[in-house]
Amino acid sequence: MKAPTLSRPRAAERRPRMNTEREMEHRRMKRMDFLQSMCFMGPSFLGVLVFFIVPFLVVVYYSVIRNPMNREFVFLDNFTALLQNAAFLSAAKNTLLFSALAVPLAVVLALGLALLLESRIPLKSQFRTFFLSPMMVPVASIVLVWQVLFNANGVVNDFLGLTGADKIDWIKSDYGQIVVLTLFLWKNLGYNMILFMSSLANIPRELLEVADVEGASEVYKFFAIKLRYLSPTVLFVTILSLINSFKVFREVYLLTGGYPYGGLYMLQHFMNNTFESLDYQKLSAAAVIMALAMVVIIAVLFKVEDWFGKDVEG
């Protein structure tokens, strides 16, 4: 420490020096922080860059050129060609139809299960375990059972036969999607249910108690209180189920192979079969369209949730 002098340095003289020192120190800290943070994030970010981002940019590039040999810019030609491709259109239609059926069911039924488990019944935690157990079973292990159930001579037909219905070979019929839908719900409901259960547990108890005192009915409590607090989870489960419904190719492939009956020809079948012929333009255009569609759908869902849950904080 310097000895105090009679004449203090004038403010104008002093402040700039202090500032630059502090600024430099500050800047050095910031640089250190940045370097350190990059060291931690680096491996992951580099991997994502190399395996996802850079190649995806190339995919975008591929989708607007004639072909890898003749790199002429053709803008939307590949997309219009794809949108006129019958296989792509039917695959897109089937996938959308399946998602339109599967996603709402997966959300509503899972919420139903979670609400059932809210009441005070014996064996509650066992039920939770049972409902969750299908997620642990690899699809490949379980398709045999579905074949037994939905075969022309299978169990489901036996049951329906009691009502006088004709035997049908479910997987090879127009109802093929129902077979896959049951498998999809069986596998995914437990996971969604857990998400809803934890979110239900986070609703402030006082609110529900007040509603009880005021004599609100269960139905009113559900729509006026619970659903409001659940809305972020509903959003998440919807998105999750949507992605999983795009993955249902897996179930279809294990049940029927690469070339299923019409109604079960999914987008991933189209992709796989296009990989075999290595048509980069088709593949790239399809991937770009799917990515855009996903972003749009997610953005819309976010907006809807923002609007719906706006009066609930947290």
> Mask 250-289, x = binds another protein (CB under 8 A)?
x--xx--x---------xx--xx--x-------xx-xx--
Q: Assess 58 for contact with another protein (CB under 8 A).
A: yes
Q: What angle do CA 165, 167, 169 make, to 5 degrees?
A: 135
| Minimum CB distance to another protein, residue 94 (Å) | 13
Contact 132, 193 (CB under 8 A): yes
Among 184, 235, 263, 265, binds another protein (CB under 8 A): 235
* CA distances in angstroms from 223 to 107, 216, 305, listed in the order given: 15, 11, 15
Angle between helix 267-277 and helix 249-256 axes, rounded to 10 deg? 70
Q: Using the minimum distance from each CB to another protein, give the nearer residue, 38 or 89.
A: 38
Q: Using the minimum distance from each CB to another protein, give the nearer residue, 51 or 223.
A: 51
Q: What CA–CA distance (Å, rounded) separates 288 from 65?
A: 13
| Minimum CB distance to another protein, residue 84 (Å) | 19
Stretch that binds another protein, among 20-28, 73-81, 219-227, 247-255 (CB under 8 A): 247-255
Q: Assess 106 for contact with another protein (CB under 8 A).
A: no
Q: Assess 220 for contact with another protein (CB under 8 A).
A: no
Among 85, 90, 147, 173, binds another protein (CB under 8 A): 147
Written as one letter, the residue type at 286 is A
Ranges within 66-95 binding another protein (CB under 8 A): none
Q: Assess 19 for contact with another protein (CB under 8 A).
A: no
Q: What CA–CA distance (Å, rounded) separates 314 from 301?
A: 18
| Minimum CB distance to another protein, residue 254 (Å) | 4
> 197 Cβ partners below 8 Å, 6+ apart?
114, 117, 118, 128
Q: Assess 151 for contact with another protein (CB under 8 A).
A: yes
* Residue 105 Rama label (left phi>0; alpha psi -120 to 50; beta): alpha
- Taking Cα atoms as reference points, which of 98, 251, 254, 94 lies closest to residue 186? 251
Residue reference for tokens 């040999």:
69
> Mask 177-196, x = binds another protein (CB under 8 A)?
---------x--xxx--xx-
Q: Assess 137 for contact with another protein (CB under 8 A).
A: yes
